[in-house]
């Protein structure tokens, strides 16, 4: 294995693959991912991809819907980039072999919550993310300059002379810790849903990329904004399986235990209101009725339509004894997406030279305080490509080719301590969850500070400390923002306050939390 590459990409979801493909036109690229190549949040994306390509849609309408969902904190420049460039990259993906659902020869567009037009493309009904990964890996494998290396966990970033110069990673073939230098590093490691005990995210979404960037000195932004998906399967013996937004988009009705539809009582848009509103409506109804879940009812829709439209959801529900054509599905909210992350401009540049980010790990301001449904796959595609373009254009110094002797590495020093992980998850869910209170947040910060301390024992490794540190940053940002907006709801400050809080949180290692007004400049 070479000790250098022109470019290093961390993560093999849509953002990482698209960045790597762009970079491969200009130099040698290696993609490092800690699990198998197709294990990422992209793989689990059911809902589809939003893109203004249909005859009755317009770019400006997609922009407007995104800005409305973002509750006043979207960076309009970033939104315009996403929506205007989206059609080009989706068309390119189709040319690479991605197969989206069609009606005859035409692409089939559907609608989801908070969209004003039918603009959601799907692949095999509810396997859109999987099709993204399949088609992009197939294309990537054709590029001679691009190497994909699975089960190669990155431990940390190398910072030299004020810039990111490479990474330290675990060689997947041997228990060795190696260093690799590069002109630039692109982090596309996804989100951090595993910080919470209730999440739709896969086990790999532990926020490692965010934590590594923070430890290296990059600025974090808007970590208080966490999206709770309203409808995760709520069975004691089942994982928190995502029941796609599209189920409500196609006519699914939320009902309480008395069988009454209740969403209209909380918002005129009912089941099609933005996710934060629907999620809080479900929680409010649960509290009023003293129950642990509500029901999503699709039994009034045609059985053949449901089986064809949602094959993966239909099959998964059957495994747990539920037939979505006949049974009402028990649902409750779960953490789904982090709007905040490593601050970047619209080309993925962070505050640390040589370090670029794309996808959920980043914060361009494109989602504001609440992500519009099905904008995430488009985000990864568009900003992944742009991060690659910028890393090439910035013409950073060539990597140092000096061989660095690898060292023996105990894999136990990388795995998350299970006790600490479980404690962080429960703490975050109870005190930094869907409904937040100042006293709870302060208590969470105090305990997370202890858990993140380097003085708590040699049995706690750096990755575990990073996990607790990222949770603490999120709790601190939530305490700092004394208002309610988008995915951030403070019971003690229930109203949105544009006069005081039309700004973004900024967190940098060794500094107090502060405010920035604009992101992508």
| Active site (catalytic) residues | 275
Residues 6+ apart with CB under 8 A from 304: none
Closest by CA position to 179, among listed 160, 158, 210, 163: 158
Residues 6+ apart with CB under 8 A from 260: none
Q: Which residues of 412-423 are buried (b: 16+ CB within 10 A; e: fewer)?
A: eebebbeebbeb
CA angle 225/228/229 to nearest 5° reads 140
Q: What is the DSSP letter of 383?
A: H
CA angle 504/510/515 to nearest 5° reads 15
Q: Which residues of 110-134 are buried (b: 16+ CB within 10 A; e: fewer)?
A: bbbbbbebebbbbbbbbbbbbbbbb
503 touches 368 (CB < 8 A): no
Residues 6+ apart with CB under 8 A from 503: 515, 516, 517
Unique residue bearing structure tokens 């999987």: 130
51 touches 128 (CB < 8 A): no
339 touches 487 (CB < 8 A): yes
Q: Which residues of 315-329 are buried (b: 16+ CB within 10 A; e: fewer)?
A: ebbeeeebebbeebb
Residues 6+ apart with CB under 8 A from 163: 352, 353, 354, 355, 396
C-alpha 333: how far from its chain's center? 16
Rounded Cα distance, 339 and 364, in Å: 9
**443: which 2 tokens?**
């208590």
Q: Which residues pair with 334 in a beta bridge?
A: 229
């Amino acid at each position: 294995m070479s000790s250098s590459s022109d470019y290093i990409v961390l993560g093999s979801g849509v953002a990482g693959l698209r960045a790597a493909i762009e970079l491969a036109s200009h130099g040698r690229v290696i993609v490092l991912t800690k699990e198998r190549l197709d294990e990422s949040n992209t793989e689990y994306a059911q809902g589809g991809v939003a893109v203004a390509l249909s005859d009755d849609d317009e770019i400006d309408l997609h922009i407007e819907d995104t800005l409305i969902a973002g509750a006043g904190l979207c960076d309009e420049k970033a939104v315009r980039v996403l929506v205007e460039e989206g059609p080009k990259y989706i068309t390119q993906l189709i040319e690479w072999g991605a197969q989206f659902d069609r009606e005859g020869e035409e692409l089939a567009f559907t609608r989801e919550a908070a969209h004003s037009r039918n603009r959601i493309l799907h692949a095999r009904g509810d396997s859109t993310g999987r099709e993204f990964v399949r088609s992009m890996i197939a294309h990537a494998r054709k590029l001679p300059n691009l190497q994909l290396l699975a089960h190669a966990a990155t431990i940390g970033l190398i910072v030299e002379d004020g810039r990111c110069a490479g990474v330290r990673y675990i060689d997947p073939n041997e228990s060795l810790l190696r260093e690799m230098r590069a002109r630039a590093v692109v982090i596309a490691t996804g989100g951090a849903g595993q910080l919470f005990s209730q999440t739709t995210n896969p086990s790999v979404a532990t926020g490692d990329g965010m934590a590594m960037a923070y430890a290296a000195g990059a600025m974090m932004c808007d970590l208080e904004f966490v999206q709770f998906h309203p409808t995760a399967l709520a069975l004691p013996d089942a994982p928190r399986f995502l029941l796609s937004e599209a189920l409500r988009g196609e006519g699914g009705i939320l009902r309480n235990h008395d069988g009454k539809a209740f969403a209209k009582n909380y918002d005129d848009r009912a089941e099609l209101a933005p996710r934060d509103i629907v999620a809080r409506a479900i929680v409010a109804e649960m509290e009023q009725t003293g129950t642990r879940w509500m029901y999503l009812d699709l039994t009034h829709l045609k059985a053949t339509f449901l089986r064809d439209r949602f094959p993966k959801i239909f099959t998964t529900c059957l495994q747990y004894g539920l037939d979505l054509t006949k049974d009402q599905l028990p649902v409750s909210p779960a953490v789904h997406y982090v709007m905040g992350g490593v601050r970047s401009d619209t080309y993925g540049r962070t505050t640390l030279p040589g370090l670029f980010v794309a996808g959920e790990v980043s914060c361009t301001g494109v989602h504001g305080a609440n992500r519009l449904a099905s904008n995430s796959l488009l985000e990864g595609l568009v900003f992944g490509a742009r991060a690659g373009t910028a890393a090439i254009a910035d013409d950073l110094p060539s990597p140092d080719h000096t061989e660095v002797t690898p060292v023996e590495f105990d894999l136990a020093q990388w795995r998350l301590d299970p006790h600490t992980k479980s404690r962080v998850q429960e703490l975050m869910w109870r005190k930094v969850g869907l409904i937040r209170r100042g006293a709870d947040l302060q208590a969470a910060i105090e305990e997370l500070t202890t858990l993140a301390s380097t003085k708590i024992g040699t049995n706690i490794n750096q990755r575990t400390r990073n996990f607790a540190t990222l949770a603490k940053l999120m709790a601190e940002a939530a305490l700092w923002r004394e208002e309610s907006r988008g995915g951030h709801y403070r019971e003690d400050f229930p109203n949105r306050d544009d006069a005081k809080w039309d700004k973004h949180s900024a967190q940098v290692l060794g500094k107090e939390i502060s405010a920035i007004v604009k992101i992508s400049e």
